[in-house]
Amino acid sequence: MKKYDVVIAGGGAVGAACAYFLSRDTDLKIALIDLKKPGNASRASAGGLWAIGESVGLGCGVIFFKTLSKLHSEAQGKEVPVMRPHQLPDCFFEFALTSNNMYPALHQEMLEKHGVDFKFERTGLKFIMYNEEDRLYAEQITQGIPHLADQVRWLDAEQLKKEEPYVTDDAIGAIDFICDHQVNPYRLVDAYLEGARQNGVSLYLNTEVTSVIRNGNVVEGVKTSDEVFFCDTLINASGAWANELYQQATGRTMPVYPVKGQIVLSERMPKIMNGCISTSDCYIAQKDNGEILIGSSTEEKGFDTTNSLDKIQELSQGAMKCLPILKESSIKRCWAGLRPGTPDELPILGPVEGVEGYLNACGHFRTGILTSAITGQLMTELIMGKTPSLDLTPFSVERFEEAEQKAG
Ligand SMILES: Cc1cc2nc3c(=O)[nH]c(=O)nc-3n(C[C@H](O)[C@H](O)[C@H](O)COP(=O)(O)OP(=O)(O)OC[C@H]3O[C@@H](n4cnc5c(N)ncnc54)[C@H](O)[C@@H]3O)c2cc1C
């Protein structure tokens, strides 16, 4: 039997960030337990820190909503309507932008204190416009975020050509979100884990939490296949699988479910991009080693992690339309990962009413790489008994129960 102050179930970006911030800011005895299940999201991710882009529905969002509105209209025999941006609520902007602002200092801290480099790069995120419909879409986006006007640059075709010479001549311009950047997601998780290990966290990797130990309304620990871990607080950071542990901890269910995303990766290429790109067909990011990452589909297919030719073809065609030079590239590999989805696309964070010794840190859907840093900080504040620096009410699990009661 082992005894810890805090046990973290799940070692993706979110669980690893919780381990890092807790071990940096407290003297608590902490264990992180992780089994890499097929499809774990952090290692499947693109590594975009697209705080504004994702909040206004670019990145994965725009591709998803375009497909969805096309399918709906076709099913009803109607014309495909003009796309409208899918903007998340203000609480999400604050959450995402606060997290985004943490990365420059975190990158320095990881380099200097722990000797690890998660390859933070200031890139911006450009939404490329091909036609008037795209321009209208971009205008609607900027009209929805007047308070962030200083973070948006409009580029005409000539300026775009100067900044991204490989973008197709068919592009009529772009909007650039200047505070949106990128990291290497594998290295980010490794950096959090290495920092946590150096700070004294016990890492149990290749280890599954098989059950939660509960005594009445108090969570007392977890079991793995061959050990028992008692703890004062269990943090559930088990990604798309989080509902399983939540059920055992609380006797209730919460709507966290896998949302598949497929990605294509090219072999290394000379530098052909100066920033990250989103179009309404795909997003494209050149990573620090020259590989080009093209993402990503949004599919509700349970825990399926296969790649399908149709999605890989759609993404590749979208990328070649934007950057014709990609016709000369070779595919290194494709993969699929499982985002921890929730119905309102917001994460589920913090305590659960009537349950002691348990915190949720899950449901980060499309932005868990970006928002891992603020999640680690908020969980640390909660465990230290401080008032969280951001209001967690919009992210509480109870919002779903309230919504159900209203509907019923
Ligand atoms: C294709 C794709 C592209 C993406 N691109 C971006 C992007 O550009 N930017 C961005 O911010 N986000 C992106 N995301 C989303 C992001 O990857 C996720 O939001 C984030 O990784 C979620 O992190 P997590 O730690 O909650 O989950 P995960 O990374 O899935 O980690 C959860 C871990 O818990 C483990 N686990 C589950 N159950 C147990 C158990 N019982 N015992 C022990 N371990 C367990 C899992 O195996 C896994 O290792 C993308 C996702 C996908 C799929």
Which residue puts its alpha carbon closest to atom 1 of ligand 1?
261
* Ligand 1 atom closest to the CA of 372, numbered from 1: 23
Instruction: List the alpha helices (DSSP H) in 225-371.
Output: 242-250, 309-322
Strand duo 173-177 + 125-129: pairing = antiparallel
pLDDT digits (tens, 9 = 90+) for 366-388: 999 999 999 999 999 999 999 99
Structure tokens at 22: 């807790």
Tell me which of 226, 241, 345 to substitute to probe ligand 1's pocket, judged by most ligand atoms within 8 Å of the beta carbon: 241
- Those residues whose C-beta lies under 8 Å from the C-beta of residue 136, and which sit 6 or more positions away, are 82
pLDDT at 67: 62
Given a contact cutoff of 8 angstroms between Cβ atoms, the answer to whether 349 and 396 are in contact is yes
pLDDT of residue 118: 98
Taking CB atoms and a 6 Å cutoff, what residues make up the pocket around ligand 1? Answer: 9-15, 33-37, 40-42, 44-48, 208-209, 237-241, 245, 261, 263, 295-296, 337, 339-340, 362, 364-370
Ligand 1 atom nearest to 50, measured from its CA: 9
Atom number of ligand 1 nearest to Cα 369 = 11
d(CA 198, CA 280): 43
Ligand 1 nearest atom to the CA of residue 338, by list position:
53
Ligand 1 midpoint to CA 41 (Å): 3
Average pLDDT over all residues of the chain: 94
Give the DSSP per-residue string, 29-68.
Answer: -EEEEE---TT-SGGGS--EE-HHHHHTT-THHHHHHHHH
Q: What is the pTM of this model?
A: 0.95
Q: What is the largest CA-CA distance in the chain?
A: 66
User: Has residue 116 got a pLDDT over 80?
Assistant: yes
Enter the tokens of residue 268.
Answer: 């290394």
Q: Which of 49, 103, 184, 364 to mutate to test the pocket of ligand 1 (most atoms within 8 A of CB)?
A: 364
CA distance 384 to 18: 13
pLDDT at 82 > cutoff 70: no
Q: Is the pLDDT of residue 406 over 80?
A: no
270-326 pLDDT per residue, tens: 999 999 999 989 999 999 999 999 999 999 999 999 999 999 999 999 999 999 999
What burial class does residue 53 get, using C-beta atoms within 10 Å of its C-beta: 0-12 exposed, 13-18 middle, 19+ buried? Answer: buried
What mean pLDDT do residues 252-275 have? 97
Res. 80: pLDDT tops 70: no
What's the CA-to-centroid distance between 12 and ligand 1, angstroms? 5
Report the pLDDT averaged over residues 253-282.
96
